[in-house]
């Protein structure tokens, strides 16, 4: 039954607010923790991003930066790198890319992605048609792309309903409060906690990110 449900879910892509609400309703019915979280946060935002090379590049640029810093650097990248494509990245010098605010590691990662696209057959434009596990493995094979980047790309650029990022710190903190745990769960533990949320883990992640904001504001008791 579970395998059948997942095959059916694989046909769904999160593209609209209605898709998010469908996942929320399912999670509320099946999980008291998600019900508590949703009551505290309300409906989470869609948060879809550009697919393809541009979408992955934006995630790479934003790694380990504040939202404000990531947005500022990305804005400079968009102005300077036209079109935002693998060939264009390879054509630019490191000095030109640094002027956009990119660090050395981010430049190396973007170039590695570009090489994977141009020389190794990584097709980010049709990634939505590739099975979740296969796409994730292809991304992780690129130097500089770790689990978090691969998971976020699948969640927000491809709209995969069951994508999840257990290594995300904010998700871990939110889960700690949602489950009333003594310690913050690590990636492996959070992966286990999220298992009942299949096949809507991408929606559960959006709810937990919203709950993280509630926790930071000291309102985590709402809806308990």
Kindly report the CATH number assigned to the domain that includes residue 32: 1.10.1670.40
Mean pLDDT within 96-118: 97
Cis peptide before 199 (omega within 30 of 0): yes
- pLDDT digit string, tens, across residues 168-217: 999 999 999 999 999 999 999 999 999 999 999 999 999 999 999 999 88
Find the distance separating the first CA and the last CA of the chain, reported in whole Å: 32
Domain-located, residue 201: yes
- pLDDT digit string, tens, across residues 30-47: 999 999 999 999 999 999
- Judge if 170 and 204 occupy the same domain: yes
- Judge if 41 and 65 occupy the same domain: no
pLDDT attached to residue 219: 60
Burial grade of 12 (CB within 10 A; 0-12, 13-18, 19 or more):
middle
**pTM listed for this prediction:** 0.88
- Judge if 39 and 58 occupy the same domain: no
- Judge if 64 and 153 occupy the same domain: yes
- Judge if 128 and 173 occupy the same domain: no
- Judge if 60 and 20 occupy the same domain: no
- Judge if 130 and 169 occupy the same domain: no
Domain-located, residue 224: no
Look up tokens 């903190």; give the residue.
173
What's 90-136 look like in SS3?
HHCCHHHHHCCCCCHHHHHHHHHHHHHHHCCCCCCCCHHHCCHHHHH
Domain that includes residue 26, residue range: 2-46+163-216
pLDDT band at 64 (very low <50, low <70, confident <90, very high): confident
Q: What's the DSSP call for residue 153?
A: I
Domain-located, residue 222: no
Total of domains in the chain: 2
Domain-located, residue 152: yes
């Amino acid at each position: 039954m579970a395998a059948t449900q997942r095959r059916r879910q694989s046909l769904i892509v999160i593209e609209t607010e209605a898709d998010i609400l469908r996942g929320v309703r399912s999670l509320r019915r099946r999980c008291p923790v998600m019900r508590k979280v949703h009551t505290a946060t309300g409906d989470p935002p869609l948060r879809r991003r550009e697919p393809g090379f541009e979408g992955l590049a934006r995630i790479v640029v934003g790694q380990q930066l504040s939202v404000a810093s990531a947005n500022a650097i990305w804005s400079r990248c968009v102005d300077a790198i036209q079109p935002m494509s693998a060939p264009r990245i390879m054509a630019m010098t490191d000095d030109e890319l640094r002027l956009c605010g990119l660090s050395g590691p981010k430049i190396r990662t973007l170039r590695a992605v570009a090489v994977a696209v141009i020389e190794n057959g990584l097709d980010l434009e049709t990634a939505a048609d590739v099975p979740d596990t296969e796409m994730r493995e292809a991304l992780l094979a690129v130097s500089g792309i770790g689990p978090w980047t691969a998971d976020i790309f699948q969640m927000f650029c491809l709209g995969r309903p069951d994508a999840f990022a257990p290594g995300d710190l904010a998700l871990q903190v939110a889960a700690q409060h949602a489950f009333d745990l003594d310690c913050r769960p690590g990636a492996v533990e959070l992966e286990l906690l999220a298992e009942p949320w299949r096949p809507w883990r991408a929606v559960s992640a959006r709810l937990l990110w919203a709950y993280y904001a509630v926790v930071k504001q000291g309102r985590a008791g709402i809806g308990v």
